[in-house]
Structure 1
Amino acid sequence: MKDAVQWIRSLLFVGQAYFMMLPLGLLFLPWALVSRKGALTACKSWCVWIRWTASWMVGLRTEVRGTPPADEVMIAAKHQSFLDIILIFHSVPAGKFIMKRELLKAPILGQYALGIGCVPVDRGKRSQAIKKMVADVAKGKQQPGQLIIYPQGTRIPPGVSAPYKIGTGVLYDELGQDCVPVATNVGLFWPKRGIMRRPGLAVVEFLPRIKAGLDKEDFMARLEDEVETASDRLMREAGFDTPDR
């Protein structure tokens, strides 16, 4: 019975969350079409709404730990669900994502993704995608912000292992910027798929930055170790059994 009630609350939460994209998107659209600031403000307003409604509709509180960067850096984050996107983007001044090109076709979402400076790439063409990603990011340097990338390439459920893809190392090497790793446990409460949202404390944690200039392979090894170790710690804190590293 308790799960049934939570599922109904979750359904109402998810429904209103997607619905609110439309009025907020239309409200800010004139500003967003002429100014990146307008697009960023619209997206951050939706993030505020989601964090607030999640807290009282489904009992899901959110917390950001560490120091979100405000300078030109690459953010390499653990990706468990859409909630970590919301929390990371809401925490930095001008976040922009490496994103699947298919998302550009989504109404409102695609328009705003371009407006905030996201870099679309084709999936399934790995070498071409990496080259284009580097070229597009380089072209966008005149548009300041924090480039957010997910090294595993997709959402990974808690407790599941998946490799870190070399594209993150290529970007780190080519851009010559510091990298800020981010750990999370949000997938325990807001899953990759499905309606159910579980009560608890969902956390993203900005870890100490990795300075520019490391060897690509050394960088990738350090990034994976730090993100996975910290994510395991956050999940154990929330009651999820993970092996010690």
Structure 2
Amino acid sequence: MLDSLKNPTVIAAFVTVIGAVIVSLLTVRSTIRAARTTAAATKDAQHIAAEVKRQQETLSRLLVPVVAPSMIDSMKKLWQETANFAASQTPPITDLERRKKFVEALSVWYYTDGNGLFLSSETRDALFRLRCYALLPEEAKDAGFYLDHARYGPKDLPKSDEELSKNLRDKASDLRTALKDQLGIYGVWSEPAGGSTAPRPPEGTPARIMRMITQTATWVIIAGVELLVIAVIAAILFLR
């Protein structure tokens, strides 16, 4: 048996297996340490985000009584301005002069009258998108409007007056929907179908990170144990 222990093959096998086990254990240790660090950083970020949100909600509650009357009035004007363009029963909207006046009215409402102050980013984007769909790039340039067609305009120009009209109606409808979303109309008067369900924890939460790391560590430990068992079996065979 002592002679077998002096065998270079046996020694190499033991060294290889022991090294593999040590590497596996070090990997588990490093992985768990990284998981704890990541989980702690994520938790801190969530606390900061929650505090910022709380401060924003507090500020909103203080501002609502002050700005609500003016905001409702301004949004009612925008609702009325887009009424004829969003209605499906109106004739096709292809007249260039009419579209120019419409874009001008939206610009005055947003910039000159200062109503853009009341819009959320989603509602603002819907408004800018509507303006870019109402006037095509060359039409806007000739009329002296500087619209961000690269960001808000259609990818492909309409091939017919009917398509132009349909696109315009769709974007006007989207804007009106965004207005109602911003005011919370859908949240007040409607409920999700099937009732509410508990949201799934978002990616990156400490609990999910620890769960993934634990699963990884488990597989690494199992692999290390399997290597150890193989090493023992190999040693028994060599020492016979």
More helix, by proportion: 2
Structure having the higher Rg: 2
TM-score by length of 1: 0.26
More strand, by proportion: 1
